[in-house]
Amino acid sequence: MKSKYADLKLNEDINKIKEAAECIKEGKIVLFPTETVYGIGANALDENAVNKIFIAKGRASDNPLIVHISNLEMLNNLVQEIGEIEQKLINNFWPGPLTIIFNRKDCIPNNVTAKLNTVGIRMPSNKIAKKLIELAGLPIAAPSANISGKPSGTKIEDIIEELDGKVDYILDNGMVDIGVESTVVRVVGEKVHILRPGKITVQDIENLGLQVVVEKQVMEECRPNEKVMSPGMKYRHYAPNSKCLLVYSETEKKLIDEINKQIQNTKNVLVLARTRHLDKYNTTSKLDMGDSLEDISKNIFTLLRKVDSYNADLVIIEGVKREGLGLAIMNRLIRACEHNYIEID
């Protein structure tokens, strides 16, 4: 049976959002937009409803979900305490693409948190997401909208084939604004630890006078039995079926030379590159990532979904500098390439 669908790209039809909110209240699941990526949402306080998310995505149960709220009263009902640093982060970045890990209250089911005593919470800035949560009157647990392991959904056209009929309602708001999932942080002592990088950068947080630590798992592999507080840290993620290689050098010529060397050594190569580099690669199969970090962030998941249609023997992806939004892009790309990575000094 097909999912109910509402096109809200040009008109934020409040009646359609109300219908979707009723689905949330009834324990059903809804595919909805946020400013980062699309999410599959359910009532975060309903264990059975949340189970439907895991079934729809084929998601492992030890991978925690993020809870989305529309006001601070909801936050107070879900967490044990809000420290001074967490409050500073809230004041500066909510609503927006920042998830904060808190110690949770018992009202949140174990399947939301992967049985951890913590929960990730954020307040999205997307108007439809906020209105959906408000009208439901409930916090909404939601991972990214995709089959687990595949690239996250940044527009409905990319994900409707794999998720139509697996969710009860689809709210289509067109292309998302950012294109990578939220930054996830945990305050430990006086420091803000970044568990997953996103649009809110190390520099953004440091500009508040706070100390920041980037966790090693951002660019390294987690151990198989390691418990994680944030989604996107542990499992094969964002990965096409094709073999992918990530290549980076701060020197443009070295980057291009290394990729051309890799092209020479393989028959059928697809390259994902910045616009200004495309004509410098000796292969006919190329995809344009855009030039700015913002463009690459917005385009990357859609491009990763196109990769397998080329049936390439090897997909080579240009890396970017791990600064600002570039850290989030590299975090997603190194996982898409399953840590198959070359860096040239």
Domain ranges for the chain = 4-218, 244-344
Q: Which of 344, 279, 285, 276 is nearest to 316 (CA)?
A: 285
E-assigned strand segments in the chain = 4-7, 30-32, 39-43, 66-68, 98-103, 118-122, 140-141, 169-172, 183-188, 191-196, 211-214, 244-249, 269-273, 285-288, 314-318, 341-344
Token pair 């630890």: residue: 193
Q: What is the dihedral of CA 51, 57, 62, 66, to 10 degrees?
A: -80
CATH, domain 4-218, list 3.40.50.10420, 3.30.70.2740, 1.20.1260.10, 3.90.870.10:
3.90.870.10
- From the number of C-beta atoms within 10 Å of its C-beta (0-12, 13-18, 19+), residue 186 rates as buried
Q: Tens-digit pLDDT profile for the chain (345 aa)?
A: 899 999 999 999 999 999 999 999 999 999 999 999 999 999 999 999 999 999 999 988 888 999 999 999 999 999 999 999 999 999 999 999 999 999 999 999 999 999 999 999 999 999 999 999 999 999 999 999 999 888 999 999 999 999 999 999 999 999 999 999 999 999 999 999 999 999 999 999 999 999 999 999 999 876 655 555 565 555 556 789 999 999 999 999 999 999 999 999 899 999 999 999 999 999 999 999 999 999 999 999 999 999 999 999 999 999 999 999 999 999 999 999 999 999 999
Task: Provide the H-helix boundaries in 61-218.
Answer: 72-78, 84-93, 110-113, 127-136, 156-163, 202-206
Q: Return the CATH architecture of domain 244-344.
A: 3-Layer(aba) Sandwich (3.40)
Q: Which two tokens stand for residue 140?
A: 């909404």
Hey, CA dihedral for 324, 325, 330, 331, is it positive or negative?
positive
